[in-house]
């Protein structure tokens, strides 16, 4: 999932880059967080069928995934609210599709610090949900406005290599995590 | 503003408690974050008149305030996504109504740790926006489900006193911050 709704989002482009770098035995589906309502505990009912339709669909999509790749910008030195809202909706109940799940976090920003603070802000979230984060290699893409060509390919080949390694590490963690 | 949209929200109740404890020379208006769309940089235009109507209204309400009181639950050891989304919408541009503004953060939760991690997650946000947070006294209300009576009054009188002191500190900071 991408943490940005902007049409020309670098992070959405990054997901598409990742899709092309995927190990042969992996498949990736990009899920949208734009249709989710604002989180409201009154609507977050234990019975999945009674939750808002967009929430039920989103949780089902995550439940079908063995691992999650998140690519996100940093807003105000933290996680974009809309992305956190998606996490909030997926987080509740013992049937949460985030619990114990392998996750890889990457980020791109036009700024100079590559979303480091956004990625740090995710750590407590991962702890709460007992997710299995792939820490290394870290993918922190600074000056993103200079790093994609017109086809949406990464021109920073070192960054591209890191993304490939991150996906490989996510794959290995998923395989290890199978019951 | 309250970080929770739930009808019976403890944090919305806390705002109402705060309204009754307000120093005589302060006024408080509760603003809603529920109507804001998901943040989308494509819609966050420099010209306020071109922003989504709910965003323009929200930013105007904040601009009219000399200080901000936020009462919020903690979701997944962090800031509720919907609250962060509101902050994101208000944060952009040199006309951001959050820049340099006095802010007091309080929180209530049925859990045992009083929203400590939500409040910690706000610190980088305050840094980015150069806000002026009132750090002391800290208002961290645990076991909130046992601390309100049927009229929505706080039965925890020690907590109520802290809220009064926090408001007083916010007032003093606002006065000091006037040009």
CB distance from B110 to chain A under 8 Å?
A: no
Question: pTM to 2 decimals?
Answer: 0.97
Tokens matching residue B121: 């997650």
C-alpha to C-alpha distance for A135 and B47, rounded to whole angstroms: 40
Q: Residue B128 — very low, low, confident or very high, per pLDDT cuts 50/70/90?
A: very high
Asked if the Cβ–Cβ distance from B5 to A40 is below 8 Å, we say yes
Q: Please tell me which residue of chain A has the smallest CA distance to B89.
A: A81
Asked if the Cβ–Cβ distance from A91 to B84 is below 8 Å, we say no
In this prediction, residue A108 carries a pLDDT of 98
- Answer yes or no: are the C-beta atoms of A159 and A148 closer than 8 Å: no
User: For the segment B17-72, what is each residue's pLDDT rounded down to a tens digit?
Assistant: 999 999 999 999 999 999 999 999 999 988 878 999 999 999 999 999 999 999 99
In this prediction, residue B93 carries a pLDDT of 92
* Nearest CA among B43, B75, B67 for reference residue B178: B67
Q: If one looks up domain B10-177 in CATH, what number appears? A: 3.40.50.360
In this prediction, residue B45 carries a pLDDT of 87
Buried (b) or exposed (e) across B146-176, using 16+ Cβ within 10 A? ebbeeeeebebeebbebbbebbbbbbebbee
Of A34, A75, A128, the CB nearest to B88: A75
Whether this model's ipTM surpasses 0.90 comes out as yes
C-alpha to C-alpha distance for B36 and A53, rounded to whole angstroms: 20
Mean pLDDT of A25-39: 98
Whether residue B179 is predicted with pLDDT greater than 90 in this model: the reply is: no
Q: What are phi and psi of B92, to 5 degrees?
A: -90, 150
C-alpha to C-alpha distance for B74 and B69, rounded to whole angstroms: 16
The dihedral through the CA atoms of B40, B46, B48, B49 has a sign that is negative
C-alpha to C-alpha distance for A37 and A118, rounded to whole angstroms: 22
Angle between helices A81-91 and A53-64 (to 10 degrees): 80
Domain ranges of chain B: 10-177
Tokens matching residue B50: 């071109």
Asked if the Cβ–Cβ distance from B78 to A40 is below 8 Å, we say no
Q: Which residue is it, tokens 């404890």? A: B21
User: For the segment A50-67, what is each residue's pLDDT rounded down to a tens digit?
Assistant: 999 999 999 999 999 999
Q: Which of B75, B87, B105, B108 to substitute to test the interface with A, most A CBs within 10 Å?
A: B75
Per the prediction, chain A carries an average pLDDT of 97
In sequence order, the β-bridge partners of residue B141 are B108
Count of pairs with CB atoms under 8 A, one residue in A, one in B: 119
CB distance from B126 to chain A under 8 Å?
A: no
CB distance from A91 to chain B under 8 Å?
A: yes
Cβ neighbours of B28 (radius 10 Å): 15
Buried (b) or exposed (e) across B84-102, using 16+ Cβ within 10 A? bbbbbbbbbeeebbbeebb
Tokens matching residue B51: 């922003």
Per the rule left: phi > 0, alpha: psi between -120 and 50, beta: everything else, A4 is beta
CB distance from A126 to chain B under 8 Å?
A: no
Whether residue A118 is predicted with pLDDT greater than 90 in this model: the reply is: yes
Asked if the Cβ–Cβ distance from A6 to B88 is below 8 Å, we say no
Whether residue A22 is predicted with pLDDT greater than 90 in this model: the reply is: yes
In this prediction, residue B16 carries a pLDDT of 97
CB distance from A109 to chain B under 8 Å?
A: no
Mean pLDDT of B146-158: 96
In this prediction, residue B46 carries a pLDDT of 83
User: Can you list the alpha helix ranges (DSSP code H) found in chain B?
Assistant: 10-21, 53-64, 81-91, 116-128, 157-177
Whether residue A49 is predicted with pLDDT greater than 90 in this model: the reply is: no
């Amino acid at each position: 999932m991408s943490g940005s709704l902007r049409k020309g989002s670098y992070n959405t482009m990054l997901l598409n880059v990742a899709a092309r770098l995927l190990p042969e035995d992996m498949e990736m589906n990009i899920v949208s967080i734009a249709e989710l309502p604002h989180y409201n505990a009154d609507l977050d009912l234990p019975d999945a069928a009674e939750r808002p339709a967009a929430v039920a669909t989103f949780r089902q999509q995550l439940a079908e995934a063995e691992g999650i790749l998140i690519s996100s910008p940093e807003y105000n030195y933290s996680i974009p609210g809309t992305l956190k809202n998606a996490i909030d909706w997926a987080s509740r109940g013992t049937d949460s599709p985030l619990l114990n799940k392998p996750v890889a976090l990457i980020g791109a920003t036009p700024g100079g610090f590559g979303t480091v603070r956004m990625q740090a802000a995710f750590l407590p979230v991962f702890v709460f949900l007992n997710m299995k984060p792939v820490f290394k290699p870290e993918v922190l893409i600074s000056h993103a406005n200079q790093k994609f060509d017109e086809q949406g390919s990464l021109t920073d080949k070192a960054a591209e290599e890191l993304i490939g390694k991150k996906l490989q590490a996510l794959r290995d963690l998923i395989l290890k995590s199978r019951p």
